[in-house]
C-alpha cells in the first residue's frame, strides 16, 4: 500500500471517527464535584436502602403536615397568549404546559409535560435532598386566586422542633411572555419562634421532572435530552440521554453542584426549560438514575430563623434563537456550536431568507445549497483540477514505483520530486471534503434542532427534521435498525439511498483513471460509509448533501469537458496543435 493510500485511509477514517464521537455520540460532560454511579452489583442493595429511606422520609413528612379538614384536589387552569397551564393543588405542581404557537401533527398545541402517576412533577417542593426523594409529593394545598394569571398555594407544616410555619408558592404568569415567576415563602406563626428546617442539610428542594415533551416521536434518536447549567458566560452540559432510549446501567448518574450559578435547565431537540435562581448559594442536582426520567433540583440549605423568601424566574418555551436572545441570560448558549456559531447563524439566516419568499423549507435548503456551492466554487474547482491532473499523472507515477520498488525511500523522493515538478499535490483532492466539514457540522447542528422544520414536509418527506421514513419493518438490520424492548425495527428511508447513489457517481468521476486498491477504496468504500452514517440523519441534512453531490457531479462534468478540450496529455501539459 503506497503513501497516498495510507493518507487517504487516515483522512477518511479520521472524518468518520470525528463525526461519530463529536456529533452522533457526544460524550457526557461531567463538570461537577460529586458523581454518584450505581453499579450492577450494588443495585439491589441500593434499591433496598432507598426504599427504607423513602419510608422513613414519608413517615417524617406525615408528621410535619398540619391536617386540613375537607380539603380536596383542585386543578387551576391559566391561559395566556402563549400557553395553557394546569396546576394541581396536590403538590402545587404543574401537570400540563401547552404551547399555543407550536402544534403537533394533529394541529393541537404541543404538550411539554409527560408523567406517570407517582412521578416527581414540575416545581414540586420536597423537604429533602433530590437524591433522597423516591416519588412525587401529593400533599393537598390551599389555593388563593391573586389574578387571572397568578395563584398562590399554601399549607401549614411543623419543623423539626414542632414549631408551626406556613409554606407558600406563588405562580405569576404574564400574557405575552414565555417566562414566569415562582416565589417560595416560609414564615413562622410566632415571632419569638425560630424555625429549624433541616433534612440531610436541606431546607427544601424545588424539583423538575420527569420528561420534557413532546414524547410522541419515541424513536427519534435526535431528540436528545440534555441537563446543564450556565456559569461565568459558559453553558455546561452535565447529563444527556436520547429520547426513547435508556441509559445503560454503567451510565446511571446523580450529580450535585454547590455554588452560585446563572441558571439551571433541561433541553431537548426543540424546547427548553431554564430556571434562574436569585443570587443565593443553592445546591443544584441532576438525576438520571431512573429509566427515561430526567430530574433536576434546586435545594436551599438548612435554615434557622423566622422567615425567608426565594424567587425563581422560569423560561419554558421553544429553542428559537431570536426568542432566546431576546430573553437574555445567554440562553442562546444551549444552541451549541460555540466555535462554528458564525457559520450556524449564517446558514440559519440564509434558510429563513429563502423560506421568506418560497414558503417551503425543502426549497429553501436547496437554494441555500446552491449558494454554498457558488461560494466554494473557486476552491473546489482548483481541487478537482488537481485530482484530474493526479489521475493523468498516474501512469508516470506507476513507472517510478516499478523502477524503485526495491528502494522505498528513493521511490518516495522521486515521487515527491515529480509532484513538485508537475505542481500538483496528492492531498489536493481532499480539499472539498475538508471544506465541507465545518459547513456539514454547522448544518447538522442547525437542521437537527431548528424548530421551524418541525412537521415541515417536502415531496415525500413528512418532517425535514427527521429521517424520511416511508415504511418500517419488524426486523433489526445491523447498523441501520433499533430495538424497542425485545422487538427489532428498521426504518426504510429513501433519501439516503439517493444520496449514496449520487456519492458513488461522484466518486467514480473523481477517481478518474485511477486503478488498484486506492481507486477502489475511494470509489466504493467512501460512499458505503456515508450510507450508514446518513441513514438515520435528519432528512433536511441528507437533502443538502444529495443536492451538493448533484451540483458537484455537474461541476466535474464541466471540468472534464474543458480539460479534454485543452487536450491534456499524461505529462500534464497541453498538446500543441500543428
Of the candidates 237, 239, 245, 241, the residue with the CA atom closest to the CA atom of residue 217: 245
Between vectors from CA 134 to CA 132 and to CA 135, what angle results, nearest 5°? 135
CB-facing half-sphere around the CA of 514: CA atoms within 13 A: 23
Q: Which pTM was predicted?
A: 0.74
Q: Grid coordinates in use for 323?
A: 426568542
For residue 153, list its beta bridge partners.
143, 169
**pLDDT score of 481:** 76
Between CA 347 and CA 541 the distance in angstroms is 12
pLDDT of residue 24: 43
Range scoring the smallest mean pLDDT among 177-186, 234-243, 416-425: 416-425
Rounded (5°) CA angle 441-444-447:
145
Distance CA 499, CA 542 (A): 7
Residues linked to residue 303 through DSSP beta bridges, in sequence order: 197
Scored b (16 or more CB within 10 A) or e, 246-255 reads ebeeeebbbb
Q: Using CA atoms, how far apart are residues 226 and 253, in angstroms rounded to an integer?
A: 13
DSSP characters over 409-425: HHHHHHHHHHHHHHT--
Cell of 249: 446501567
Could you read off the pLDDT of 526-576 as tens digits, one per residue? 778 888 888 888 888 889 889 988 988 887 777 777 766 665 444 444 544
Radius of gyration (C-alpha) of the chain in whole angstroms: 30
pLDDT one-digit tens code per residue, 109-127: 999 998 888 899 999 999 9
- pLDDT of residue 198 exceeding 50: yes
- Quickly list H helices, 239-315: none
| Pick from 119, 118, 79, 121: nearest CA to 98 | 79
| Alpha-carbon 480 to chain mean position | 20
Which residues are CB-contacts of 359 (< 8 A; sequence separation ≥ 6)?
Answer: none
**Phi, psi dihedral angles at 493 (to 5 degrees):** -115, 135
User: Is 312 in contact with 280 (CB distance < 8 Å)?
Assistant: no
Q: Which CATH number fits domain 31-335: 3.40.50.11540, 2.70.98.90, 2.60.40.10, 1.10.1240.10?
A: 2.70.98.90
Question: Angle at CA 160, nearest 5°, toward 158 and 164?
Answer: 25
Percent of the chain clearing pLDDT 70 (strictly above):
73
Q: Any idea which of 35-44, 239-248, 304-313 has the lowest mean pLDDT? A: 35-44
Average pLDDT over the chain, rounded to an integer: 78
Q: Are 328 and 237 in contact (CB under 8 A)?
A: no
Per-residue pLDDT of 346-400, as tens digits, reads 888 899 999 998 999 999 999 998 988 888 777 676 666 666 666 666 777 777 7
**Domain boundaries in the chain?**
31-335, 343-565
Amino acid at each position: 500500500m503506497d503513501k497516498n493510500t495510507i493518507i487517504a485511509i487516515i483522512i477518511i477514517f479520521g472524518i468518520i471517527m470525528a463525526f461519530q464521537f463529536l456529533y452522533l455520540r457526544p460524550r457526557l460532560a461531567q463538570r461537577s464535584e460529586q458523581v454518584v454511579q450505581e453499579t450492577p452489583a450494588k443495585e439491589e442493595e441500593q434499591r433496598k436502602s432507598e426504599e427504607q429511606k423513602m419510608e422513613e422520609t414519608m413517615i417524617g413528612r406525615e408528621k410535619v403536615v398540619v391536617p386540613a379538614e375537607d380539603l380536596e384536589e383542585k386543578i387551576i387552569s391559566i391561559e395566556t397568549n402563549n400557553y395553557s397551564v394546569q396546576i394541581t393543588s396536590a403538590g402545587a405542581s404543574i401537570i400540563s404546559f401547552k404551547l399555543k404557537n407550536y402544534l403537533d401533527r394533529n394541529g393541537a398545541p404541543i404538550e411539554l409535560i409527560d408523567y406517570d402517576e407517582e412521578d416527581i412533577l414540575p416545581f414540586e417542593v420536597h423537604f429533602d435532598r433530590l437524591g433522597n426523594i423516591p416519588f412525587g409529593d401529593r400533599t393537598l394545598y390551599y389555593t388563593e386566586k391573586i389574578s387571572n394569571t397568578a395563584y398562590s398555594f399554601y399549607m401549614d407544616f411543623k419543623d423539626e422542633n414542632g414549631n408551626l410555619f406556613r409554606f407558600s408558592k406563588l405562580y405569576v404568569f404574564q400574557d405575552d411572555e414565555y417566562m414566569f415567576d415562582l416565589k417560595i415563602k416560609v414564615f413562622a406563626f410566632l415571632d419569638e419562634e425560630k424555625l429549624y428546617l433541616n433534612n440531610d442539610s436541606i431546607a427544601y428542594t424545588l424539583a423538575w421532572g420527569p420528561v420534557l415533551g413532546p414524547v410522541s416521536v419515541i424513536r427519534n434518536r435526535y431528540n436528545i435530552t440534555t441537563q446543564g447549567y450556565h456559569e461565568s458566560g459558559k453553558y455546561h452540559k452535565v447529563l444527556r440521554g436520547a429520547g426513547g432510549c435508556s441509559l445503560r446501567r454503567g451510565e446511571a448518574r446523580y450529580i450535585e453542584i454547590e455554588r452560585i450559578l446563572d441558571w439551571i435547565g433541561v433541553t431537548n431537540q426543540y424546547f427548553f426549560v431554564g430556571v434562574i435562581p436569585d443570587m443565593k448559594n443553592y445546591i443544584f442536582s441532576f438525576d438520571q438514575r431512573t429509566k427515561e426520567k430526567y430530574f433536576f433540583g434546586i435545594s436551599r440549605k438548612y435554615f434557622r430563623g423566622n422567615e425567608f423568601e426565594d424567587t425563581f424566574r422560569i423560561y419554558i418555551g421553544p429553542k428559537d434563537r431570536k426568542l432566546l436572545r431576546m430573553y437574555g441570560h445567554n440562553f442562546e448558549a444551549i444552541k451549541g456550536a460555540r466555535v462554528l456559531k458564525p457559520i450556524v447563524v449564517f446558514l440559519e439566516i440564509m434558510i429563513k431568507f429563502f423560506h421568506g419568499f418560497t414558503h417551503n423549507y425543502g426549497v429553501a435548503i436547496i437554494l441555500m445549497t446552491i449558494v454554498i456551492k457558488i461560494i466554494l466554487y473557486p476552491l473546489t474547482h482548483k481541487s478537482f483540477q488537481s485530482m484530474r491532473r493526479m489521475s493523468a499523472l498516474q501512469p508516470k507515477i506507476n513507472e517510478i514505483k516499478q523502477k524503485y520498488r526495491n528502494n522505498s525511500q528513493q521511490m518516495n523522493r522521486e515521487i515527491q520530486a515529480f509532484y513538485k515538478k508537475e505542481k500538483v499535490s496528492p492531498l489536493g483532492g481532499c480539499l472539498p471534503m475538508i471544506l465541507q466539514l465545518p459547513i456539514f457540522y454547522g448544518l447538522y447542528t442547525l437542521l437537527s434542532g431548528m424548530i421551524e422544520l418541525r412537521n415541515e414536509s417536502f415531496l415525500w418527506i413528512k418532517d425535514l427534521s427527521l429521517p424520511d421514513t416511508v415504511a418500517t419493518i419488524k426486523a433489526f438490520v445491523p447498523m441501520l435498525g433499533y430495538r424497542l424492548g425485545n422487538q427489532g425495527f428498521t426504518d426504510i428511508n429513501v433519501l439516503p439511498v439517493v444520496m449514496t447513489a449520487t456519492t458513488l457517481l461522484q466518486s467514480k468521476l473523481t477517481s478518474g483513471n485511477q486503478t488498484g486498491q486506492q481507486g477502489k477504496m475511494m470509489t466504493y468504500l467512501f460512499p458505503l460509509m456515508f450510507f450508514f452514517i446518513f441513514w438515520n440523519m435528519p432528512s433536511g441534512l441528507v437533502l443538502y448533501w444529495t443536492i451538493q453531490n448533484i451540483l458537484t457531479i455537474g461541476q466535474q462534468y464541466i471540468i472534464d469537458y474543458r480539460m479534454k478540450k485543452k487536450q491534456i496529455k499524461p505529462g500534464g501539459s497541453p498538446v500543441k496543435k500543428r
